[in-house]
């Protein structure tokens, strides 16, 4: 039993280590792939040991570089065209802003004068309405006084009191007649002043309408320029996006060829001129990959050397261990 457990735990540790080292080797090989790719990218123009296969990959890289240079020029031209359109829109926006500012400065005093004139006219109209109400009240009072006067005049034997009251009514009618003339004059004056304000109000309203129409036309012009800018720039942006995507796709395609060239350079011991230390990095990564591969091979061989029956019994026992612990806790 002790031998079974000992061999089983050793096998389990080896298998866990295999998994751990496999992950580490996968990461290491990714780093090696990047290093060899970078090596080929830096040194593909200096390889002088061409064989037919390597020359093919170098030619492919040269074609990619020429295509990307053409795409880069196209992208730069598209960017220049878009920048020109942006400058045109910026100029039109600046003109629009200046126009709106000038119209707003012109509108402000006219609007203030119009508001003041309309307030004055409204006061005159309200004064006329008050005069009209006063005339109605005077007419009602005058009608009542005339009825009293006629009643006093119809008296057959008027006494002194009736004569006094009749005199008061006559005086009041005279006073009302004078007040009526004043009220009528005030009403006519208010109406005249209100009417005198109408032409100026109409002129100021026409000026404001002209300014508002000019501001609306400026906004419509800018909106049309914005729509035109969008219609012209969208195709340029679409073409530029396609060009950039094509360049990115070519970058992805070049990596495989760079890797082949870099692998060949490392095999021949050729370092790039500007970063010769990269060759040392590739050798170091290859050495680490070789040691990891040897370690994994030894671990797998050790696992294969264990008797299958021992492993089967150990892993069955390991799988049943939780159930055994649960049963022991239940009956404890």
pLDDT digits (tens, 9 = 90+) for 281-313: 888 999 999 999 999 998 888 877 776 766 666
Number of Cβ within 10 Å of residue 144's Cβ equals 12
Name residue, tokens 């109209």.
Answer: 125
- Contacts of residue 58, Cβ cutoff 8 Å, sequence gap at least 6: 44, 47, 50, 261
Is the domain of 236 the same as that of 135? yes
- Contacts of residue 49, Cβ cutoff 8 Å, sequence gap at least 6: 264, 268, 270
Q: Do residues 35 and 285 make contact, with C-beta atoms less than 8 angstroms apart?
A: yes
- Cα–Cα distance between 201 and 207 in angstroms, integer? 10
**Nearest Cα to Cα of residue 44 among 247, 249, 263, 253:** 263
Is the domain of 235 the same as that of 297? no
Q: Do residues 57 and 284 make contact, with C-beta atoms less than 8 angstroms apart?
A: no
- Upper half-sphere CA count for residue 168 (Cβ side, 13 Å): 7
Helix axis angle for 160-268 and 2-43, nearest 10°, is 100
Per-residue pLDDT tens digits for 57-98: 777 777 777 787 887 888 888 888 889 989 999 999 999 999
Is the domain of 245 the same as that of 281? no
Q: Which residue among 255, 284, 317 closes a domain?
A: 255
Is the domain of 135 the same as that of 199? yes
% the chain with pLDDT above 70: 85
Q: What is the mean pLDDT of the segment spanning 192-198?
A: 89
Provide the domain limits for residue 221. 94-255
Give the pLDDT score at 111.
92
Query: What residue spans of the chain are helical by DSSP H?
Result: 2-43, 52-153, 160-268, 277-305, 308-330
Residue 59, in any domain of the structure:
no
Is the domain of 279 the same as that of 217? no
Per-residue pLDDT tens digits for 99-134: 999 999 999 999 999 999 999 989 989 888 888 888
Among 30-39, 58-67, 198-207, which is the least confidently predicted range? 58-67
Is the domain of 117 the same as that of 242? yes
Give the pLDDT score at 291.
92
Q: Which residue among 203, 226, 255 closes a domain?
A: 255
Give the confidence band of 247 by pLDDT, cuts at 50, 70, 90: confident
Residue 2 clears pLDDT 70, i.e. is over it = no
Is the domain of 147 the same as that of 245? yes
Q: What is the pTM of this model?
A: 0.53
Give the confidence band of 330 by pLDDT, cuts at 50, 70, 90: low
Is the domain of 185 the same as that of 213? yes
Is the domain of 280 the same as that of 223? no
Name residue, tokens 């990891």.
Answer: 292
Residue 131, in any domain of the structure:
yes
Residue 55, in any domain of the structure:
no
Is the domain of 227 the same as that of 325? no
Tell me the average pLDDT of the chain: 82
Q: How many domains does the chain have?
A: 2
Is the domain of 330 the same as that of 285? yes
Query: How big is the chain by its Cα radius of gyration, in Å?
Result: 53
Is the domain of 188 the same as that of 308? no
Residue 4, in any domain of the structure:
yes
């Amino acid at each position: 039993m002790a031998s079974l457990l000992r061999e089983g735990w050793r096998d389990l540790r080896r298998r866990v280590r295999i998994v751990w080292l496999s992950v580490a080797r996968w990461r290491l090989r990714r780093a090696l792939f990047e290093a060899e790719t970078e090596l080929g990218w830096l040194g593909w123009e200096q390889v002088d040991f061409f064989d037919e296969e390597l020359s093919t990959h170098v030619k492919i890289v040269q074609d990619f570089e020429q295509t990307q240079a053409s795409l880069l020029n196209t992208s730069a031209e598209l960017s220049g065209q878009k920048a020109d359109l942006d400058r045109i829109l910026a100029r039109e926006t600046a003109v629009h802003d200046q126009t709106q500012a000038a119209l707003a400065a012109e509108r402000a005093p006219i609007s203030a004068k119009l508001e003041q004139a309309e307030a004055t006219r409204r006061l005159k109209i309200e004064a006329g309405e008050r005069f009209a109400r006063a005339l109605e009240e005077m007419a009602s009072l005058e009608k009542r006084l005339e009825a009293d006067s006629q009643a006093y005049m119809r008296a057959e034997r008027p006494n002194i009191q009736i004569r006094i009251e009749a005199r008061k009514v006559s005086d009041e009618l005279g006073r009302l007649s004078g007040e009526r003339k004043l009220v009528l004059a005030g009403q006519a004056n208010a109406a005249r002043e209100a009417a005198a304000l109408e032409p100026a109000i109409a002129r100021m309203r026409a000026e404001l309408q002209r300014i508002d129409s000019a501001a609306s036309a400026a906004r419509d012009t800018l909106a049309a320029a914005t729509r035109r800018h969008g219609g012209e720039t969208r195709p340029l942006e679409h073409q530029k996006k396609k060009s950039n995507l094509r360049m990115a796709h070519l970058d992805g395609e070049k990596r495989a060829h760079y890797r082949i060239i870099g692998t060949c350079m490392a095999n021949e011991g050729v370092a790039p001129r500007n970063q010769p230390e990269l060759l040392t990095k590739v050798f170091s990564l290859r050495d680490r990959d070789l040691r990891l591969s040897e370690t994994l091979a030894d671990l797998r061989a050790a696992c294969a050397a264990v008797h299958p029956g021992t492993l089967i019994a150990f892993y069955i026992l390991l799988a049943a261990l939780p159930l055994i612990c649960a049963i022991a806790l239940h009956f404890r």
